[in-house]
């Protein structure tokens, strides 16, 4: 069920990407994020997707022509239609996501209710 829903979301935003190869890269990249890849960096996600290197993902995120705001808006409308009401608010709280490394992006020491102590968190 999860995979089918994800495919529906890919179809929803596919038109926001100017070329088919960018659509496929976006699909591979997003499918890798919740996967079992140990570190969610371009190189390991590319290896997981069967690519030779991270250049394609880097191009998608840093140089390709696509409208990130439009993709966000498309997905936001869909989530609001499915989960919410007109004046509702959806809050996603990822503060319980603990990080083990010291060099990961966005990591800082802060109190974690999940861990019950101060930890490195994203």
Map tokens 């007109």 to a residue: 86
Residue 57: per-residue pLDDT: 92
Spatial contact of 54 and 46, defined as CB atoms under 8 Å apart:
yes
pLDDT-derived band at 103 (thresholds 50, 70, 90) equals low
Query: What is the C-alpha separation between 111 and 100, in angstroms, rounded?
Result: 15
Confidence band, pLDDT 50/70/90 cuts, at residue 101: low
Confidence label for 80 from pLDDT (cuts 50, 70 and 90): confident
Instruction: Give the per-residue pLDDT at 97.
Output: 59
User: From CA 40, how far away is CA 59, in angstroms rounded?
Assistant: 16
Q: In angstroms, rounded to a whole number, what is the distance separating the alpha carbons of residues 39 and 32?
A: 10
Six-digit token pair at 68? Answer: 């990130």
> The whole model's pTM is what?
0.67
End-to-end CA distance of the chain: 29
CA distance 94 to 40: 16
Alpha helices in 33-117 (DSSP H): 42-48, 55-62, 68-83
Instruction: Calculate the average pLDDT of the chain.
Output: 81
């Amino acid at each position: 069920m999860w995979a089918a829903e994800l495919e529906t979301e890919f179809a929803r935003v596919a038109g926001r990407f100017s070329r088919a190869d960018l659509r496929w890269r976006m699909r591979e990249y997003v499918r890798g994020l919740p996967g079992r890849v140990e570190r969610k960096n371009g190189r390991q996600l590319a290896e997981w997707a069967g690519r030779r290197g991270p250049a394609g993902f880097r191009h998608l995120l840093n140089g390709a022509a696509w409208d990130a705001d439009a993709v966000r808006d498309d997905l936001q409308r869909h989530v609001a239609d499915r989960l919410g009401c007109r004046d509702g608010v959806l809050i996603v709280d990822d503060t319980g996501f603990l990080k083990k490394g010291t060099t990961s992006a966005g990591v800082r020491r802060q109190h974690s209710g999940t861990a019950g102590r101060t930890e490195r968190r994203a």
